[in-house]
A = this chain, B = another copy of it.
Amino acid sequence: MKNIYIIGVGLIGGSLAKDIKKLDPEVIIHGISRKQTTLDKALSLNLIDKKATLEDIVNADLVIVAIPVDTTVKMLPMLLDKIPETGLIVDAGSTKKDICKVVENHPKRRNFLASHPIAGTEYSGPEAAISGLFEGKTNIICEVEKTAFKLQEKALKLFESLGMRIRYMNPEAHDKHIAYVSHLSHISSFMLGKTVIEKEKNERDIFDMAGSGFASTVRLAKSSPEMWTPIFKQNKVNVIETLDEYINNLRQFKQFMEQDDFEAIYNEMKDTNYIKQILEGIA
């Protein structure tokens, strides 16, 4: 691979750029963005070698699409129109069903690989790009059989050299499960932040009382609304289901408290401590 085009040089696109350049300094990383200021920043941070436009991807060996998922759905057919026969487009979106759907009948479907690297931080933009973000992380690949075999190989080799573990899944299963293990966490965090800000907005000193536990639980409430609004929109049905279950569990906890059933409160927590074993698997 010589010419890699990254559309969206923010946290994910920029971090990929950094690691790819490190792995192979011969590669030329071309950055594409809606905003000139983003490209200028990416260039000054040495994330990209050159600025480019969408027209230029006719020269691409690889195009990485790391933009909000609604824009991915809008642009992907047009990107596939432009990509050369030997080129591959890979996305990094947190939803997979709508993205796979929009290209299912595209004549160049074989030039696209649907992927979701489960990596990130709560920050965004080119300044948020960091080295080694993907090391040891999971990358979920959907509908791998629909991508040309040689292009699959090329992408998988890259993902592995970035240190990622590959898992295969269909887009529906991806969107359903990711709603639980990622999308719901973001909403629980955003609403926790909201609840506390509303209550305490006139008592700023109160936040002196907040410790590392609060910081950890609301960390995701710093996430980008530009990125997350389209994710919730595309995964609406699954996310609403997770919210229903989460709200019911909270209401039941509250009810146990109202009924002074602290044995039940104890058991709720004791049972959920099982999360320790699960988190050991993640860490």
Contact = CB atoms under 8 A, between A and B. Distances in A.
A273 B196 contact: no
A107 interface: no
B245 A199 contact: yes
* Interface bracket on A: 35 or more
Contacts of A223: 269
Contact of A209 (B177, B207, B258, B273): B177
B181 A207 contact: yes
A275 B186 CA distance: 13
A188 B278 CA distance: 18
A243 to B, nearest CB: 5
B272 A194 contact: yes
B278 A257 contact: no
26 contacts: A118-B209, A140-B209, A174-B209, A180-B195, A184-B192, A184-B196, A185-B192, A185-B218, A187-B253, A188-B188, A188-B192, A189-B217, A190-B269, A194-B271, A195-B245, A210-B282, A213-B220, A218-B279, A225-B269, A229-B266, A239-B257, A240-B254, A243-B253, A243-B257, A244-B254, A247-B251
Given A180-B200, A207-B278, A239-B257, 18 more contacts: A118-B209, A121-B212, A167-B209, A180-B199, A181-B211, A184-B196, A188-B217, A190-B272, A194-B272, A195-B246, A207-B282, A210-B282, A214-B282, A216-B220, A222-B273, A225-B269, A243-B254, A247-B247
Interface of A: 118-122, 137-138, 140, 165, 167, 174, 177-178, 180-182, 184-200, 203-223, 225-226, 228-230, 232-233, 236, 239-240, 242-247, 249-251, 253-254, 257-258, 260, 262, 265-276, 278-279, 281-283
